[in-house]
C-alpha cells in the first residue's frame, strides 16, 4: 500500500499497575514466569519488574493508588500453556482459584480463567 508507515514497532510487553510488585511476582512465578529485572524506589520497595516465560513477557509497576481503586476488566491477558490440564492441576494444588476448562469457538483445545492478586483477568489457552 502506497504511503503506508514504516513498521517500526516489532514487540509489545503489557505493563500492569499493581499494588504490590513482589506479590505479583510471586503469583506469576506460579505460572512459570522468571524474573528478568527489577527497580527499587528510594523507599526500598520494588517499583517495577520485568518477568518472562518463554516468549511471554510482562512488566509490573507499583501503583500506590491501585489499592484504593477497584480494577475493571478492561484488559485481559491471554496466555498460552503447553499442557493446560497439568497447569490447571498445579495451580489448584497451590491454592489458586481456577475455572473449569471451557472450549470456546476461538480456543477449541480449551482455556481456563484466573484472576491475579490485583484483579486482572487471565485467560490461559492450550497452545498447539
Tell whether 10 is covered by a domain. no
Tell whether 62 is covered by a domain. yes
> What domain count does the chain have?
1
Tell whether 4 is covered by a domain. no
Tell whether 5 is covered by a domain. no
- The structure's pTM equals 0.76
Domain that holds residue 101: 15-126
Which residues are registered as beta bridge partners of 125? 80, 111
Tell whether 9 is covered by a domain. no
Q: What residues in the chain have per-residue pLDDT under 50?
A: 66-69, 73
Q: What is the CATH number of the domain that holds 24?
A: 3.10.180.10
**Side-by-side strand order, sheet with 76-81:** 76-81, 121-126, 111-115
Strands (E), the chain: 15-18, 34-40, 46-53, 56-62, 76-81, 111-115, 121-126
Neighbours of 100 (CB within 10 A): 8
Tell whether 64 is covered by a domain. yes
Q: What is the pLDDT of residues 14-50, one digit of tens each?
A: 988 898 999 999 999 999 999 999 999 888 889 999 9
pLDDT at residue number 24? 96
Measure the CA–CA gap between 15 and 38, rounded to whole angstroms: 13
Amino acid at each position: 500500500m502506497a504511503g503506508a508507515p514504516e513498521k517500526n514497532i516489532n514487540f509489545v510487553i503489557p505493563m500492569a499497575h499493581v499494588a504490590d510488585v513482589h506479590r505479583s511476582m510471586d503469583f506469576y512465578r506460579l505460572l512459570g514466569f522468571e524474573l528478568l529485572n527489577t527497580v527499587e524506589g528510594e523507599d526500598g520497595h520494588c517499583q517495577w519488574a520485568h518477568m518472562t516465560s518463554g516468549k511471554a513477557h510482562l512488566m509490573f509497576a507499583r501503583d500506590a493508588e491501585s489499592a484504593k481503586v477497584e480494577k475493571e476488566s478492561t484488559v485481559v491477558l491471554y496466555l498460552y500453556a503447553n499442557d493446560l490440564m497439568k497447569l490447571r492441576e498445579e495451580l489448584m494444588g497451590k491454592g489458586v482459584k481456577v475455572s473449569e476448562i471451557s472450549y470456546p469457538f476461538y480456543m477449541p483445545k480449551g482455556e481456563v480463567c484466573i484472576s491475579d492478586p490485583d484483579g486482572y483477568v487471565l485467560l490461559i489457552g492450550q497452545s498447539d
